[in-house]
Homo-oligomer: A and B are copies of this chain.
Amino acid sequence: MVRKTKEEAEITRRHIIAAARRVFLAWGVGRTTLERIAAEAGVTRGAVYWHFRNKTELFFAMREQAILPFLDRVVFKEDDADPLQGIEMALQEIFHILRDQAEVRETFEIISFKCEYVNEFSGMMQCTGGQLDFLGKLTEAYRRAEARGALRAGSAPADLAHDTFLFVGGLIKHWLAGRPDERFRSDPAGLIRNHVALRRA
């Protein structure tokens, strides 16, 4: 066996994560063996065990990679002229990421449908910190909109934020699950536009 440099080892590590994503998606996390991941990555199980303590750690490494784009790209712009526009664009951006970045989409598909939330994983089904953060930012954005008089009367920002949060959760799930011809999959932009329009003053 030819010993690799640090850079080459890092590449191997990424290959293993990418292979894991493909195999998880096709077989589900539970039915995926490290042997199969290794084969898919063109290495042996020994290599996988070298880089990751076990399947769980590999799973979390994969998950981490997919969350980063959202932290970077989903932001609530403060548009004084139309505060709700910032909310709408943030929501749209979620689906742009899912559409454009296959690895992110596949990872979300795995998290949503190819994984059992039990034992070490059971905490993951609750709202994660990132999700609560998103809910908080949504609430702030609606508050700003209210201050600008952009909201229709009778709706508290916090309630609107909760409603939007649940809407987005449902949409992500159905978007991921749906076949291309289904509405949830084909027209998230329209659904988001309608959702936000309901809130306009």
Interface, chain A (partner B; CB < 8 A): 26-31, 112-118, 125-127, 152, 154-156, 159-160, 162-163, 165-171, 173-174, 177-179, 182-184, 190-191, 194-195, 197-199
Contacts and interface: CB of A to CB of B under 8 A. Distances in A.
Contacts of A182: 126-127
Given A115-B116, A191-B162, A169 B179 contact: no
This chain: how many copies in the complex?
2
Contacts of A31: 30, 116, 118
A35 to B, nearest CB: 17
27 contacts: A28-B116, A29-B116, A30-B30, A30-B116, A31-B116, A31-B118, A113-B116, A113-B117, A114-B116, A114-B117, A126-B178, A126-B182, A152-B198, A155-B197, A159-B191, A160-B194, A162-B183, A162-B191, A163-B191, A166-B170, A166-B171, A167-B170, A168-B170, A169-B170, A169-B174, A170-B173, A173-B173
Contact of A166 (B27, B160, B191): B191
B154 A197 contact: yes
Given A127-B177, A166-B191, 10 more contacts: A30-B116, A112-B125, A116-B116, A126-B177, A127-B174, A155-B197, A155-B198, A166-B174, A169-B169, A173-B173
